[in-house]
Amino acid sequence: MNYETMSKDELLKEKASLEEFYKKYQQMGLTLNMARGKPSTAQLDLSSPILDVLTSKSDFKSVDGDVRNYGVLAGITEAKELMAAVMECGTDEIIIGGNASLTLMYDSICRSYTHGVLGSTPWCRLDKVKFLCPVPGYDRHFTITEHFGIEMINIPMTPTGPDMDMVEKYVNNDAAVKGIWCVPKYSNPQGITYSDETVKRFAALKPAAEDFRIYWDNAYAEHHLYADKQDKLLPIMEECKKAGNPDMVYEFASTSKMSLAGAGISAIAASKKNIDDILKLMNAQAISYDKVNMLRHVRFFKDINGLRAHMMKQADLLRPKFEMLLEMFDKELKGIGAGSYLRPLGGYFITYQTVDGCAKRVVELCKEAGMVMTGAGAPFPYKKDPNDNIIRIAPSLPPVEELKTAGELFIICVKLATVE
């Protein structure tokens, strides 16, 4: 069966049959959700013993003193060591933040807007600021740049990362281009990891703007689905140093999807020069972030090996969900002319690429049968998917049984939207 080669009559017949199936699901009164990249309750339970490692009987000593009291703006040394191992940087090249790297990203853009970068003109004094946005990408990145009135330019993703010819053209020639949003490993939403060549081309950029920064959101650095099949990402900070561009990158990460989604710790990594600049400005905003929670994370994970072992347990909970959906897609959607999908080795999402012009309709059909999907268009700046063909699927939250039903319904909706 292939929708592309079927006759009109055949398609009409298929449509009638699909509509019957679809109605059955509609009548089931489902309330399904594949919209949010939230960990499941089982994942949260796996991480909850982190709450047992610090009690009133603990010693609260870090290298930097009693974590219960005020002070230590950049975070405790032990937490810096842990996150520096994740982010492959030095402990003097990192600041530990609060419960969300999103906030660190917002605050970084905000500081550039109000105070500039290393003494450059604050962006609020400029007529035009532009950001490059590899698409599809993470909607909350685009929300931040839109919030500050920054013009966003779509850069198509390829299987090896953003289209680097376009990136180089913009960054090296237009001084209004101040940044690019990247999720370089197991990207949101496609699960693509940037190739070595892509990373090296990033590191070798020659920005027209001195305050251009790569916003390297390494959100899924340790979020593999398999022990034996893992993507590898070149460390951007090291590559930037080698290329003579040590100050060109801000890297972000958090433990949100390692420990507890709402109660993790976050980090920003950058050259010592950048970090000093950030701390100088951040000093007006905070005395320190929650150091008790930092120590809690350090005592729980112990070190990068402990963290990786924990992430393999997370993988054991996530992998079956990814595999089940992908097997269903293989069986039902592969080679029938109804779109395509990638097989990520990590991260939190599967991206389904429909036939052009069908994504909105699929999401609408799902909704009318009681299933919430991420809005079509959400992974694009201004929520505009130029080809209306990208759907982000988040398999993490629903239990496996629910996810099976959700997958079945999704397949029917994809087929139906395609034949329509």
Is the CA virtual torsion 259, 260, 261, 267 positive or negative? negative
**Considering just the CA atoms, what is the radius of gyration of the chain in Å?**
23
Q: How far is CA 268 from CA 99, 161, 245, 286, 329, in A?
A: 12, 22, 18, 15, 37
Which two tokens mark 60? 């609260």
**Ranges within 90-149 binding a copy of itself (CB under 8 A):** 98-100, 102-103, 106-107, 110, 113-115, 122, 124-125, 140, 143-144, 146-148
Classify strands 177-182 and 213-217 as parallel, antiparallel or unpaired. parallel
Site string for a copy of itself, 246-265 (x = CB under 8 A): ----------x---xxxx--
Place of tokens 């070149």: 234
Largest Cα separation within the chain, whole Å, is 76
Shortest Å, Cβ 98 to a copy of itself: 5
Q: How far is CA 365 from CA 173, 339, 371, 372, 402, in A?
A: 44, 16, 9, 10, 18
Nearer to a copy of itself among residue 93 and residue 107 (C-beta):
107
Shortest Å, Cβ 87 to a copy of itself: 21
Which two tokens mark 97? 């933040």
Task: Among 1, 28, 51, 227, indicate the residue that binds a copy of itself (CB under 8 A).
Answer: 51
- Tell me the sheet residues that pair with 266: 254
CA 264 – CA 70 distance, rounded (Å): 19
Q: Is 23 in the site for a copy of itself (CB under 8 A)?
A: no
Q: Are 418 and 355 a contacting pair, CB within 8 Å?
A: yes
Stretch that binds a copy of itself, among 283-291, 321-329, 375-383, 385-393 (CB under 8 A): 283-291
Which two tokens mark 309? 């072992």
Stretch that binds a copy of itself, among 211-219, 290-298, 316-324, 409-417 (CB under 8 A): 290-298
Shortest Å, Cβ 367 to a copy of itself: 20
Task: Among 55, 119, 127, 232, indicate the residue that binds a copy of itself (CB under 8 A).
Answer: 55
Q: Is 281 in the site for a copy of itself (CB under 8 A)?
A: yes
Shortest Å, Cβ 56 to a copy of itself: 4
Binding site for a copy of itself (CB under 8 A): 36, 38-39, 41, 44-45, 47-52, 54-56, 58, 60, 66-71, 98-100, 102-103, 106-107, 110, 113-115, 122, 124-125, 140, 143-144, 146-148, 256, 260-263, 281, 283-293
